[in-house]
Amino acid sequence: MTAAPEKPETDGNVLVDVEDVAVHFPIKRGVVLDRTVGHVYAVDGVSLRIERGETYGLVGESGCGKSTLGRAVLRLEKPTAGRVVFDGVDLSGMKGEPLRRMRRRMQMVFQDPLSSLDPRQSVQSLLVEGMRAHGLATDPAATDRKLRELLSAVGLPSTSLRKYPHEFSGGQRQRIGIARALSVGPELVVADEPVSALDVSVQAQVLNLLEDLQEEFGLTYLVIAHDLAVVRHIADRVGVMYLGGIVEESTSDDLYAEPLHPYSKALLSAVPVPDPVVEDTREQILLSGDLPSPADPPSGCRFHTRCPWRQPSRCDTERPALRELKPGHRVACHYAEEIRDGRIQPHEVVAQAVDPTDFGDRDLTSAG
Ligand SMILES: Nc1ncnc2c1ncn2[C@@H]1O[C@H](COP(=O)(O)OP(=O)(O)OP(=O)(O)O)[C@@H](O)[C@H]1O
Ligand code: SF4
Ligand SMILES: [Mg+2]
């Protein structure tokens, strides 16, 4: 029996409420690393809600803070600012036993099943470990039944129990990783790049399995992927991340039909279209320059150094808030309406060099 949650602080349909969360990592220097010379602003002012039973997809380039945000949701990373409310309970001040009990309800599936599964443990031992830790493996017969059910749910034979991770293919190992996450009966599963280490032919099978399991066990998912196709396949709603912030959020269908933020437009324009006629006429928006360092993010709109629609002064000085352009579709761009209606046109962007040694520190209290 888990501790009764306090009075819910959010509406009953919301399972995860991320409120203005920031995760800043100090950059240490000096012989004993005693001097903080700057911060990596990995996540910097993110607010989002995930409803029960829904799949929220998080996309963005490598290093934009997706995994850090996922870890903050599970409270594996303590936010520098803001809070995460899970099923009405604020996790920010939680620690020790109450936090450990809460963790049973939220589990993670990792990108690389080979490195996340201990090679010396049999599948049985891998699956039972978490159940034991949460006092769920007290009756041997019931545990054995539960393990067989779990394996069958992820499409593996019960003979797998005696085998070791190296005896399986990549896709099968990811099935074991999923079974392990489900062994403790979670409500939320954070899947961080769950198929990016797998062959393309196996990716769809694992994504379909995740969808089936969601239905069977009533799960809520946060799926993190740099691959837009993965998110499109599985997500009900999508958040596009750029340098520690969400720049656009909408239903998956809406986003793919009409991306409104210049960064999402560029991301989506890089995805090939299966129809050759459309593909030939497809307009690609090439992003010039690298992702700036999250240790020294650009002022104003974080995307202004690469944005083909950048306008003088405001884009460089004022950070745009996420605002609703149409129901359920939020965009963080000062000029989203003008861009949508073609009232301002894209121009060429001159790439700016990024100095990786410049940590240009800011005051931590000014996050967001
Ligand atoms: N523990 C840490 N200490 C210091 N910096 C960190 C730490 N974890 C992540 N970072 C930095 O924070 C930024 C965001 O990292 P994160 O892993 O969240 O990105 P990501 O979007 O998941 O990238 P990828 O697609 O490559 O997995 C990166 O610059 C990374 O180097
Ligand atoms: S606010 Fe300005 S720089 Fe940022 S995305 Fe919009 S037009 Fe581009
Ligand atoms: Mg990551």
**CB-defined site of ligand 2, < 6 Å:** 262, 301, 303-304, 307, 309-311, 315, 320, 333-335
Ligand 2: centre distance to CA 299 (Å): 12
Whether the predicted pLDDT of 242 surpasses 80:
yes
Contact 186, 219 (CB under 8 A): yes
Per-position DSSP letters for 305-354, written without gaps between them: TT-TT--TTHHHH-PPPPEEEETTEEE--TTHHHHHTTSS----------
Q: Output the pLDDT for position 351.
A: 64
Lowest-confidence region among 1-10, 13-22, 117-126, 331-340: 1-10
Any ligand 1 atom below 6 A from CB of 294: yes
Mean pLDDT of the chain: 89
Q: Which atom of ligand 2 is nearest the CA belonging to 302?
A: 4
Q: What is the mean pLDDT of residues 198-218?
A: 94
Q: Output the pLDDT for position 282.
A: 62
* pLDDT band at 291; cut points 50, 70, 90: confident
Phi, psi of 41 (to 5 degrees): -90, 70
Q: Output the pLDDT for position 111.
A: 87
Instruction: For ligand 1, atom 6, name the residue with the nearest CA.
Output: 25
Ligand 1: centre distance to CA 241 (Å): 13
Q: Which residue has the higher pLDDT, 114 or 79?
A: 79
Which residues are CB-neighbours of 182 under 8 A, at least 6 positions away? 107, 150, 153, 154, 189, 213, 217
Q: What is the mean pLDDT of residues 115-121?
A: 88
Instruction: For ligand 2, atom 5, name the residue with the nearest CA.
Output: 333
CA distance 167 to 159: 12
Q: What is the mean pLDDT of residues 85-107?
A: 93
Q: Taking the model in full, what pTM does it have?
A: 0.90
Residue with tokens 């074991």, as numbered in its chain: 176
Q: Output the pLDDT for position 1.
A: 42
Best of 21, 28, 29, 66 for a ligand 1 pocket test (most atoms within 8 Å of beta carbon): 66
Q: Which residue has the higher pLDDT, 357 or 181?
A: 181
Q: What is the mean pLDDT of residues 309-333?
A: 96
Dihedral sign from CA coordinates of 111, 113, 115, 117:
positive
CA distance 52 to 303: 32
Q: What is the mean pLDDT of residues 228-246?
A: 94
Q: Which residue has the higher pLDDT, 168 or 352?
A: 168
Q: DSSP alpha helices (H): ranges in the chain?
A: 66-73, 96-103, 113-116, 123-133, 140-153, 170-182, 200-217, 228-234, 252-257, 262-269, 276-281, 314-317, 336-340
Ligand 1: centre distance to CA 65 (Å): 6
Contact 215, 239 (CB under 8 A): no
Q: How many CB atoms lie within 10 A of CB 286?
A: 10
Q: What is the mean pLDDT of residues 204-208?
A: 94
Whether the predicted pLDDT of 8 surpasses 90:
no
Residue with tokens 């490598």, as numbered in its chain: 62
Any ligand 1 atom below 6 A from CB of 226: yes
* pLDDT band at 2; cut points 50, 70, 90: very low
Share of residues in the chain with pLDDT > 70 (%)? 89
> In the chain, what are the domain boundaries?
120-185, 264-272+281-361
Any ligand 1 atom below 6 A from CB of 366: no
